[in-house]
Amino acid sequence: MPIYKPEIECASRDYLRALQSARLIKMVKNAYENVPFYKQKLDEAGVSPDDIHSIDDISKLPFTVKTDLRDNYPFGLFAVDKNDLVRIHASSGTTGKPTVVGYTQADIDVWADGAARAISAAGGKKDDIIHVAYGYGLFTGGLGLHYGAEKLGATALPASSGNTNRQIQMLQDFESDIICCTPSYAMFIGETIRDMGIDPKSLKLRSGIFGAEPWTDEMRKQIEELLDIKAYDIYGLSEIAGPGVSYNCECQNGLHVCEDYFYPEIIDPHTGEVLPDGEYGELVFTCIGKEALPLIRYRTRDICALNREKCACGRTTVRMEKPRGRSDDMLIIRGINVFPSQVEHVLLSLNMNPNYLIIVDRKGVLDTMEVQVEMNPEMFSDTVKGIEKEEKKIENALQSTLNIHANVRLMAPGSLPRSEGKAKRVIDNRKL
């Protein structure tokens, strides 16, 4: 398959390191001279820009965390004058003020370049229609893929999210080649197509680029079947750029990082120590190619591992594993760490529907966990006894993976809320 930027994506490791070293030196200087927060932070850590000679010196630098952005809300970490900004995005968290990010024209070009690499790696070509069903607005999903599609020279279709019947109409009438949305919305579009009696093979759709939330390989298989496409993962976060920080190639084996712009490290989340390739820990990025928001060692909270082996696709760029979840999504139930993705993995391995909701509560001193799962349509006509048997089977499977008991409740098909953007999988009623 053609590679969008082979001079970078297939470059030698030595070339990439030299490029990263030059860019790190420049960005640290920019941050130190133009962001008072970084001047203070580096002074406190006893590091000066003059101590940074190569990418190996990165571990001398202090970390940046999400609250640093919030504490300097809205524009306090920007290294450029407001006149030089051409775009602002923001991501809303569950608590507090949103995180605000800004871009110069050069930053938009960097971001669009990453998104174009991702679309190309998913087989996108100039004559394709790229159907963008991520939300447009302050969220980076819609505009990120949109600019990527245009940069590639393909045709962007700014469908935005929602109005599923209209999405399907457009898939049919405009003959979209590639669809971009969250994996949970892709599932919903696929189910709706099935329920409408439309044969997915009658659509021109060839691939999908799905991200913005964790999803498992089992869910990938279901989406691929429902929509009769190949499903590619895409990763990104607003603070670093947006979608296109990393992406799947046709090997679907990890996500290639645009490491010429976003330098990744994996650290032990407790000690901050850098971990060797292959070990799971917290993903950290340094924006070595951006002007407006030059974040240094930003802790993403995403849990994954890195792999620097050459990929069968020919790309040499480092791959990150599919993020397993976020350290702040991790539930601690009766002292045991539980990731929603583990629940999803168990459900899908039993051929259950991936629409589920985890409800955590506290009765007295004891935590309780309930998992609501939608029945498959053929189970709906089952007897009460049959349903109870099925619930027990899922409870046993969850127990053996998670090591804790969860009450399973099978729900009517279609009864759990559907998401057009990021799915909400957990309700935690404990007042922790």
Which amino acid makes up residue 87?
R
Which of 60, 87 has the CB closer to ligand DLL? 87
- Kindly report whether the peptide bond that precedes residue 2 is cis, defined as omega within 30 degrees of 0: no
205 within 8 A of 177, measured Cβ to Cβ: yes
| From candidates 4, 235, 285, 356, binder to ligand DLL by CB under 6 A | 235
Which of 49, 325 has the CB closer to ligand DLL? 325
What are phi and psi for residue 309, nearest 5 degrees?
-70, 150
Contacts (CB under 6 A) with ligand DLL, residues 300-319: 300, 302
| From candidates 34, 72, 91, 155, binder to ligand DLL by CB under 6 A | 91
- Calpha distance 259→38 (Å, rounded): 22
253 within 8 A of 260, measured Cβ to Cβ: no
Contacts (CB under 6 A) with ligand DLL, residues 100-139: 134
- Number of residues lying near ligand DLL (CB under 6 A): 21
- Calpha distance 232→213 (Å, rounded): 13
SS (H, E, C) 229-277: CEEEEEEECCCCCCEEEEECCCCCCCEEECCCCEEEEEECCCCCCECCC
Which of 241, 288 has the CB closer to ligand DLL? 241
Which of 282, 390 has the CB closer to ligand DLL? 282
- Calpha distance 59→56 (Å, rounded): 7
Contacts (CB under 6 A) with ligand DLL, residues 26-45: none
- Kindly report whether the peptide bond that precedes residue 158 is cis, defined as omega within 30 degrees of 0: no
- The piece of 4-12, 170-178, 227-235, 383-391 that touches ligand DLL (CB under 6 A) is 227-235
Distance of closest approach, residue 180 Cβ to ligand DLL, in angstroms? 7
- Calpha distance 355→53 (Å, rounded): 50
| From candidates 49, 114, 211, 264, binder to ligand DLL by CB under 6 A | 211
214 near ligand DLL, judged by CB under 6 A: yes
236 near ligand DLL, judged by CB under 6 A: yes
237 near ligand DLL, judged by CB under 6 A: yes
329 within 8 A of 338, measured Cβ to Cβ: no
Count CB neighbours of 272 within 10 A.
14
141 near ligand DLL, judged by CB under 6 A: yes
- Calpha distance 64→73 (Å, rounded): 14
68 near ligand DLL, judged by CB under 6 A: no
Q: Where are the alpha helices (DSSP H) in 74-163?
A: 105-121, 140-152
| From candidates 213, 282, 367, 374, binder to ligand DLL by CB under 6 A | 213
Q: Which residues pair with 287 in a beta bridge?
A: 262
421 near ligand DLL, judged by CB under 6 A: no
Distance of closest approach, residue 167 Cβ to ligand DLL, in angstroms? 16
Which of 211, 254 has the CB closer to ligand DLL? 211
Helices 340-349 and 384-402 cross at an angle (nearest 10°) of 130
| From candidates 212, 258, 293, 360, binder to ligand DLL by CB under 6 A | 212
Distance of closest approach, residue 235 Cβ to ligand DLL, in angstroms? 4
Pattern 283-302, ligand DLL, x by CB under 6 A: -----------------x-x
**List of residues contacting ligand DLL (CB under 6 A):** 91, 134, 140-141, 144, 211-214, 233-238, 242-243, 300, 302, 323, 326
